[in-house]
Structure 1
Amino acid sequence: MTKIKDISNFLESFAPLRLQESYDNAGLILGDQNSEITNVLITLDVTEDVVEEAIQKKCELIVAHHPIVFSGLKKITGKNYVERTLLKAIKNDVAIYAAHTNLDSVTGGVNGKICEKLGLENCRILQPADGLLKKLVTFVPVDHAEKVRQSVFEAGAGHIGNYDSCSFNIHGQGTFRGDDTTNPYVGKKGEQHYENEIRFETIFPAYIQGQVISALLNAHPYEEVAYDIYPLDNKFDQVGMGMIGTLPEELDETKFLQQLKEIFNTGVIRHTQLQNKKVKKVAVCGGSGSFLLNRAIAAGADLFVTGDFKYHQFFDAENKIVIADIGHFESEQFTKELFYELLTKNLSKFAVHLSEVNTNPVFYF
């Protein structure tokens, strides 16, 4: 039987919680992680109607993109939709889980799904994250170096772009002397020992440090393992905000906007003045992406697809790019499809249902 923690652990292995923005509240919001489940309901937003749908479909867990709770609640009395939704879920033992900006940040996440829908190629993160990489340096006896390397790589270290198993290795000589309480792998206690060793260096994202160090310690033969961890300022191009890619063939601006409107089934596209140029390179950001406009311009994008641009922000395009605001909900609607694919392809001991409730609060006349 599957438990809620099995689903949350899987989703967080794909989109770690440490990648969420400081204002966010991703993760298990309501429910007992040890509860068993047989049905999951997927939605973009959690509302009273969505909880009712979960009840009718006998879903013990709702997986959403947007957290129903962003800031702390001091009371739950039913005075607004958030409190009423939570009360209804609690009374009916329906758990709620959200993967939000952490799912926005990973390559195969929300923005990756948008790129897929648009048919973009050669996609990459528009604004790679910094401060997320660390370097591991350790010292291993020559005959155990390969075992330690492979163990650390299997734990997730050693990825640089499209390459894996990346490391640097230097031969050298280590020295040590154990006291009477030790049981050295090589040498004798109380005697100075010289051992031919490999200095092994590799990088890893900070959020997997625990598993990387655990793999190192389990594979290393020494009783006391010497290792160093250094923070790096390098950009981490596998994680960040927005994405950018190229169309297989360039299109007229009006043709692209028409296709965009059809694919995302949006009532209207708010856009800046067309530049009478072909569209080849496209930047995207699900949800509110205005903060990435200058990044999209600097990356040479012809057009930027996102939502929630304010009136004065449209002026910032300065005829350097076409902004296409398709709406917040519309830009993220395929996140439900993403959740469905992740869960059905990787976990199979429960039923997954796509919510039929339209949670878009914006209507077009």
Structure 2
Amino acid sequence: MKVKEIVDYLLVKYPLELASSFDYGKVGLQFGSMSKEVKKVMIALDGTSAVVDEAIEKNCDLLLCHHPFLFSPIINLDYNSPLGKKMLKVFKNELNIFAMHTNFDCAINGMNDHLANLLGLKNVYSIPEIPTSESYMRIGEIDKCSLAEFAYFVKETFNEEGIRVVGDLDKQIKKVAILGGSGGSYAVAAKKLGCDCIITGEVKQNNAIDAIEYNMGIIEVSHSVEALFKEYIKNILTEEFKDIEFILSEKDVNPFKCL
């Protein structure tokens, strides 16, 4: 099996055209060769130094990440820096690296549909409903409950160490929006679409203030909640490519700790 066959399959399901403008050149095959043989693939949220070491130690041919391996172009590279050491290992071991970021977030049955399904949201749809590079948000319904009750449910479902909540904890929640990653700036837009709260990450102070002004609830989860994609995409790829071994990184961890 060649790298190209896996890449082609993923880009049909999660087209590059759905990637946001800031992701141009950062999704797809970032390093490697389409003609390289693949027998073993590691799946991770982030391609950290620890993950690269693990992929090499476990003889993986392809590292599949959600977040781009490189967010910025390399202008110069100090081989003694953490990035330099990591890149030397990638090149020396001819490790192929593929990223599926905002194209996966926006696609049908991508990141945000998966998160919505895990929460059991009903009547889910995207905004805009026809997928574009702006179709991050998913909106759905739950059985009516308080913001506090729903927040505890989200925490348990996503196995979060801790969450932050904005808004009246007794507020009744029925219609909710979800956007994995960093989506605090979407809170007011979700309110205007009839939502009672939004589940997202990396909420800024001004996002929280705006939400309170609009009587909008926010349930802030970690950005690393997106790591839930790993098992999901592993199952999809295992079903499609039965002769390839897909494994989840054990070194791919949330960089934050709750005390």
Does TM-score exceed 0.5, indicating one fold? yes
Q: Secondary structure at the match of 2:109?
A: coil
- Write out the 4+ residue segments of structure 1 that deviate beyond 4 Å after TM superposition: none
Q: Secondary structure at the match of 1:23?
A: helix
**Residue 96 of structure 2 aligns with which residue?**
95
Counterparts in 2 of 1:325 and 1:78: CA distance versus 1, 3 Å: farther
CA–CA distance in structure 2, aligned partners of residues 100 and 112 of structure 1: 14
CA–CA distance in structure 1, aligned partners of residues 27 and 81 of structure 2: 21
Residue identity matched to 1:55: I
**Residue 328 of structure 1 aligns with which residue?**
223
CA–CA distance in structure 1, aligned partners of residues 123 and 151 of structure 2: 21
Q: Secondary structure at the match of 1:36?
A: coil
Contact 1:47/1:359, CA 8 A, preserved across alignment: no
Counterparts in 2 of 1:120 and 1:359: CA distance versus 1, 3 Å: same
Contact 2:155/2:163, CA 8 A, preserved across alignment: yes
Tell me if 1:346 matches 2:240. Answer: yes
Between the aligned residues of both structures, percent identity stands at: 34
Q: Deviations over 1:218-250 (max 9, x none)?
A: xxxxxxxxxxxxxxxxxx523411101111x22
CA–CA distance in structure 1, aligned partners of residues 164 and 33 of structure 2: 43
Q: Secondary structure at the match of 1:54?
A: helix
Contact 2:139/2:175, CA 8 A, preserved across alignment: yes
CA–CA distance in structure 2, aligned partners of residues 12 and 47 of structure 1: 23
Tell me if 1:15 matches 2:9. Answer: no
**Residue 139 of structure 1 aligns with which residue?**
none
**Residue 241 of structure 1 aligns with which residue?**
136
Residue identity matched to 2:199: V
Residue identity matched to 2:224: F
CA–CA distance in structure 2, aligned partners of residues 275 and 364 of structure 1: 22
| Number of positions where the alignment pairs a residue of Structure 1 with one of Structure 2 | 254
CA–CA distance in structure 2, aligned partners of residues 5 and 346 of structure 1: 14
CA–CA distance in structure 1, aligned partners of residues 118 and 243 of structure 2: 29
CA–CA distance in structure 2, aligned partners of residues 290 and 251 of structure 1: 22
Candidates 154, 171, 194, aligned match of 1:300? 194
Q: Which runs of 5+ in 1 are unaligned?
A: 129-235
Residue identity matched to 2:173: V
CA–CA distance in structure 2, aligned partners of residues 321 and 80 of structure 1: 44
CA–CA distance in structure 2, aligned partners of residues 264 and 86 of structure 1: 33
- TM-score by length of structure 2 reads 0.93
**Residue 68 of structure 1 aligns with which residue?**
69
Structure number with bigger Rg: 1
Contact 2:20/2:103, CA 8 A, preserved across alignment: yes
Q: Secondary structure at the match of 1:28?
A: strand
Q: Which has a greater percent of helix?
A: 2
Shift of 1:90: 1.4
- TM-score by length of structure 1 reads 0.67
Q: Secondary structure at the match of 1:93?
A: coil
Q: Secondary structure at the match of 1:237?
A: coil
Q: How does 1:243-258 map to 2 (within 5 A)?
A: 243-247=138-142, 249-258=143-152
Contact 1:124/1:243, CA 8 A, preserved across alignment: yes
Q: Which has a greater percent of strand?
A: 1
Contact 1:303/1:324, CA 8 A, preserved across alignment: yes
CA–CA distance in structure 1, aligned partners of residues 81 and 214 of structure 2: 43
Shift of 1:282: 1.2
Shift of 1:275: 5.3
Shift of 1:79: 5.0
Q: Considering only aligned residues, what root-mean-square deviation do their CA atoms show, in Å?
A: 1.5
